[in-house]
Amino acid sequence: MSAAAPLIAIIDWASSPQGDADSSIERSIIGDAAVVKRWLCESDADFDEEICSASAMIVWHNAPIRAAGIARLKNCRAIIRNGVGFDSVDVSAARQHDIAVCNVPDYGTEEVADHAIALAMALCRQLFPLDAEAKQLGWQIRTAPRLRRLRELTFGIVGLGRIGTATALRAKALGFNVIFHDPYLPNGADKALGVQRVATLEELLPQCDVLSLHCPLNEETHHLIAERELAMLRPSAFVINTARGGIIKKAAILAALRAGSLAGAGLDVVEDEPLRSVEEAATPNLIVTCHAAFCSVESKIEMRSTSAKIALAAVAGGALENVVN
């Protein structure tokens, strides 16, 4: 290893580390082309001088990299978000400093779609209340009024990209009537998949028995679902979010669940995650998972391998894949 070898910094989120201390997958791909080191950080405020000297950076979820932190990077050619979403990185600031921001858009498509369907099924079939009743030695099926026949239900999707499409195909196979809204999708996708396109969110929401969100988080979609939109849903509807927490206004959906104006929610992601209080966690008819929809042994290997290959290209002067800015 040359003393002048470039540095690739792996930034793992201190509150919930997902990588391994040895960065074994990344090292197996990068080899001797660069020094690979891992740091645990809450945000770019934790960056030390060594991190700021890195030629490329791989960033795990929920560790925000904002303009102030980006301005401190001296040699960085690429920031690679270890996942699909890149809202945790200030892409405009990176562009101003001539730093590419890359993501891994396709690594967990199956897992996230499976997770969305699992949450929908748990709500439609009331698995958790039934489990709790059975374990209390009861057998009254008190939740019977919420149990639904899938082929009588409409499954509404917002965002028909890779994961939205995979979710639509799964929902269709289960017998749901599938509809979707995506203003950026070219014409014809509905015909190719055999699902119904809806022109506006306002038209979609009143038809949904299950609403599943699969859009990115940006200025347009921040609080896309808030008090007004939740009021358009049927009181018997269920909301699923495996995309980004900020798409749903947390205070609004928790209030709707407490008031009984929404039948249930399955949230893999929440605004300002994780949940912040015992009161939030006690919200009725709420299933919350730990931003884990992407997670499987296979998907994490695929994601980390792809990020490492992009980082290797960055330090070797090669072409970069999946540039989002």
Name the strand (E) or helix (H) holding 210: strand 210-213
Residues 6 or more apart whose Cβ sits within 8 Å of residue 23: 10, 36, 37, 38
Do 262 and 256 contact (CB within 8 A), yes or no? yes
The question of whether 279 is a catalytic residue gets the answer no
CA distance 295 to 293: 5
Q: pLDDT tens digits, residue range 97-151?
A: 999 999 999 899 999 999 999 999 999 999 999 999 999 998 999 999 999 999 9
| Residue of 38, 61, 291, 304 marked active site | 291
CA distance 158 to 207: 13
Burial readout 103-119 (b: 16 or more C-beta within 10 A, e: otherwise): bbbebbbbbbbbbbbbb
pLDDT of residue 1: 45
The question of whether 273 is a catalytic residue gets the answer yes
Name the strand (E) or helix (H) holding 81: strand 78-81
Instruction: Starting at the earlier edge strand, list the strands of the sheet with 7-13.
Output: 35-41, 7-13, 56-59, 78-81, 100-102
Share of the chain above pLDDT 70, in %: 99
- Domain boundaries 7-107+297-316, corresponding CATH code: 3.40.50.720
| Residue of 229, 244, 271, 304 marked active site | 244
pLDDT at 6 over 90: yes
Do 217 and 229 contact (CB within 8 A), yes or no? no
Average pLDDT, the chain: 96
pLDDT at 4 over 80: no
Number of H helices, E strands in the chain: 13, 12
CA distance 232 to 263: 13
pLDDT at 2 over 60: no
- Domain boundaries 109-288, corresponding CATH code: 3.40.50.720
pLDDT at 194 over 80: yes
Q: pLDDT tens digits, residue range 243-265?
A: 999 999 999 999 999 999 999 99
pTM of the model: 0.86
Residues 6 or more apart whose Cβ sits within 8 Å of residue 321: 102, 306, 309, 310, 313
Token duo for residue 94: 């990176």
CA distance 307 to 288: 28
Do 267 and 286 contact (CB within 8 A), yes or no? yes
Q: pLDDT tens digits, residue range 31-47?
A: 999 999 999 999 999 99
CA distance 213 to 83: 17
CA distance 156 to 313: 40
Domain ranges (residues) in the chain = 7-107+297-316, 109-288
Q: If pLDDT is split at 50, 70 and 90, which confidence band does 61 have?
A: confident
109-288 shares the fold of 7-107+297-316: yes
| Residue of 273, 279, 298, 302 marked active site | 273
pLDDT of residue 3: 56
pLDDT at 213 over 60: yes
Dihedral, CA atoms, 268, 272, 276, 279, nearest 10 degrees?
-70
| Amino acid letter, residue 115 | H
CA distance 311 to 116: 30
Q: If pLDDT is split at 50, 70 and 90, which confidence band does 62 have?
A: confident
Ranges of H-type helices in the chain: 24-30, 49-52, 67-71, 91-96, 109-124, 127-135, 162-173, 189-193, 201-204, 227-232, 250-259, 278-281, 297-316
The stretch 265-288 carries a mean pLDDT of 97
The question of whether 42 is a catalytic residue gets the answer no
| Backbone φ, ψ for residue 158 (5° rounding) | -110, 110
